[in-house]
Amino acid sequence: MSTLIIGLSISMLLFLLAAGLTLIFGMLGVINFAHGALYMLGAYLAFQAHATFGSFWPALIVSPLCLAAAGLAIERLTLRPLYPRTHEFQLLATFGLILVIEEVVRVVWGLDYRHLTPPPGLTGSVALFGSDIARYRLFVIGFGAAVIAALFFGIERTKLGLVLRAASVNPTMAATLGIDVNLVRSLVFALGAGLAGIGGTIAGPLLPIQLSMGFTIILDCFIVVVIGGLGNIKGAVFGALLIGMTRAFGQLYAPEWIDIATYVVLLAVLLVRPQGLFAAKERLA
Amino acid sequence: MLALSQADVFYGRAQALHALDLGVAPAEIVAMVGRNGAGKSTALKALAGLLSLGAGRRLLDGRDITGLAPHRTSRAGVALVPEDRQIFGNLSAEENLDLAAVSHRPGPWTKARVFALFPRLAERARARGLTLSGGEQQMLAIGRALMTNPRYLLLDEPTEGLAPVVVAQMCNAIAAIARDGVGILLVEQNAKVPRLLARRFLVVDGGRITWEGTDAADIDERFNPMNAVH
Ligand SMILES: Nc1ncnc2c1ncn2[C@@H]1O[C@H](COP(=O)(O)OP(=O)(O)O)[C@@H](O)[C@H]1O
Ligand SMILES: [Mg+2]
């Protein structure tokens, strides 16, 4: 039972990042290699906010907002000038961002590990179905589920979601109908970065905050996104569950085989459905 | 008046429009006919801001809008119904209409009015775009353009590939839209439909206007590829 809970909490963390990656790819056509670095920056900002305000909750608001603002600036300053160029330029730009973000973090926070304590009500563990389960992991699962619900509601039921679904499929026609597609791109990148900020904050009490944390998790996120189908948010949910569970149960039964196991899952999915679990034509839908 | 003045348009180095002059006034239906590859779609895309002009100007009610981006052109009151309709297949018919209203102030056109114009769309409101028939897609494409409350409507071969009864329905709708005060630039490959609707005709060939007039009687000879005038 506790393995299941651990798996679910990992899945939620993976989803928060994979959702941003897949949304950004769906709308901008860019694979954001800097997504892990944004997540890492989010964790450090959460640490700073925690130290400043003395509590976890302000961090959960401040860090994502800062990341969203940074995302807005990054899209406008580094990606937008490159849209007329081929995709390699944008990939290179996101690679460059990793270097910049890592250097900023190194200069500001140094190389020491940092840690976040869970908020007061969420420390310790509860007995559930005969096993001890960390309260904070339950919170992560509930919070992640709420974010998933909010994202689906936003995409399926709001005007912005409608615009997103249309503009990601046919930006030219969307513009012909009066939609400012550049603005949509900025907002989507900001949303993706904000989700990475949420992910970084959530991860703070679970994992040590360090420079390499983004790189460690982003490989799994790429696998999640490819399994789900690039640009498909529903697919990201399933992919995250698949990889999260593989990690949790792998840790229990064959820790030295975990990384191999995630690649096996990826290969198995791609053999059965080369385009991922959900077809690209249903992007963001 | 929506107009191109001495407009050149290039695709790379190939010139598709040569010093093109054309204009449409409110409540007027102007027909532009010409064979495949003449430059009709290029002219409409240039008017919608989707292609930039190599030379010349684009004007809207006396204002120079030459460099105006497509989304701003739409907000200024110019709507394009493209040749291939470009319905969002992943959205329902109703969502396609809603989308067009997002960036525009409310005006005379509402979903209810579009459904009154094309009752078939009301029946198919919840169907996904990609499941609509050709006729339904064309109705939706026009309805969607109307949802932006345009003052000028650019129609690229709206009756292409439609059954005769749907063509008749489309003609009635186009006439009604113009009576409402909207200026319409109607592009077709033959004069059959334009002759029923338009007062003024342009024949375009090789990216140039080769004939312009109000007498549609002998227009067939003018645009028919067998007797094309150069
Ligand atoms: N995207 C494009 N790239 C290059 N050439 C194009 C493109 N679109 C159209 N053309 C060329 O421009 C000319 C006019 O095309 P078009 O405006 O589509 O003609 P029409 O709509 O009258 O059939 C043709 O010679 C066509 O081959
Ligand atoms: Mg054409």
pLDDT at B225: 54
Contacts of A283 (CB under 8 A, 6+ apart): A26, A165, A168, A169, A231, A232, B90
**Three-class secondary structure of residue A114 per DSSP:** strand
- How many CB atoms lie under 10 A from the CB of residue B225? 11
pLDDT band, residue B230 (cuts 50/70/90): very low
How confident is residue A285, by pLDDT bands cut at 50, 70 and 90? very low
Q: Across the interface, do A178 and B102 touch by the CB < 8 Å criterion?
A: yes
C-alpha–C-alpha distance, residues B75 and A179, integer Å: 9
Mean pLDDT of the B70-80 span? 98
Average pLDDT, chain B: 94
What is the reported pLDDT for B226? 54
Burial A154-175 (b: 16+ CB within 10 A, else e): ebeeeeebbbbbbbbbbbebbb
∠ CA(B86), CA(B89), CA(B95), 5° rounding?
Answer: 95
What mean pLDDT comes out for the span A182-202?
97
pLDDT tens-digit series, residues A232-246 = 899 999 999 999 999
pLDDT at A87 over 90: no
Distance, in Å, from the CA atom of A235 to the CA atom of B94, rounded to the nearest integer, reads: 26
**Residue A177: which of B69, B95, B144 has the nearest Cβ?**
B144
pLDDT of residue A275: 82
> Which pLDDT score is estimated for A222?
94
Residue A282 has pLDDT above 90, yes or no: no
Q: What is the pLDDT of residue A94?
A: 94
Interface of A with B in 168-227 (CB under 8 A): 169-170, 172-181
CA–CA separation, B49 and B45 (whole Å): 6
As a whole number of angstroms, the distance between CA A241 and CA A228 comes to 10
Measure CA of the first residue to CA of the last residue in chain A; give whole Å.
Answer: 33
The number of C-beta contacts closer than 8 angstroms across A and B is 70
DSSP string, A168-224: HH-HHHHHHTT--HHHHHHHHHHHHHHHHHHHHHHHTTTS-B-TTHHHHHHHHHHHH
B44 lines ligand 1 (CB under 6 A): no
Residue A51, token pair as written in the block? 């130290």
Counting every residue written for chain A, the total comes to: 285
pLDDT of residue A252 exceeding 70, the answer is yes
B42 Cβ below 6 A of ligand 1: yes
- Which pairing describes strands B200-205 and B29-33: parallel, antiparallel, or unpaired? parallel
CB contact at 8 A, B191 and B216: yes
Split at pLDDT 50, 70, 90, the class of A1 is confident
pLDDT for position A230: 85
Tens of pLDDT along B26-54? Answer: 999 999 999 999 999 999 999 999 999 99
CA B24 to CA B34: how far, in whole Å? 17
pLDDT digits (tens, 9 = 90+) for A120-177: 999 888 888 888 899 999 999 999 999 999 999 999 999 999 999 999 999 999 999 9
Looking at residue A34, its pLDDT comes to 96
List of chain B residues whose C-beta atoms are within 8 Å of the C-beta of residue A180: 71, 103
Rounded mean pLDDT, A32-43: 97
- Tell me which chain B residues have a C-beta less than 8 angstroms from the C-beta of A181: 71
In terms of pLDDT, which residue wins out, A278 or A65? A65
- Average pLDDT score, chain A: 93
pLDDT of residue B202: 95
Single-letter residue type at A144: G
pLDDT at B229: 44
Is A177 in Cβ contact with B50 (below 8 Å)?
A: no
pLDDT for A269-281, tens place per residue?
Answer: 888 888 888 865 4
Which carries the bigger pLDDT value, residue A196 or residue A131? Answer: A196
Put simply, the answer to whether A174 touches B148 (Cβ < 8 Å) is no
CB B95 within 8 Å of CB B88: yes
**Best A157, A176, A282 residue to mutate vs chain B (most B CBs within 10 Å):** A176
Q: Is the pLDDT of residue B228 over 50?
A: no
DSSP three-state, residue A77: helix
Distance from CA of A234 to the nearest CA of B (A): 15
Residue A149: half-sphere exposure toward Cβ, Cα within 13 Å = 6
The predicted structure's pLDDT at residue A277:
83
Q: What is the pTM of this model?
A: 0.92
Q: Is the pLDDT of residue B190 over 90?
A: no
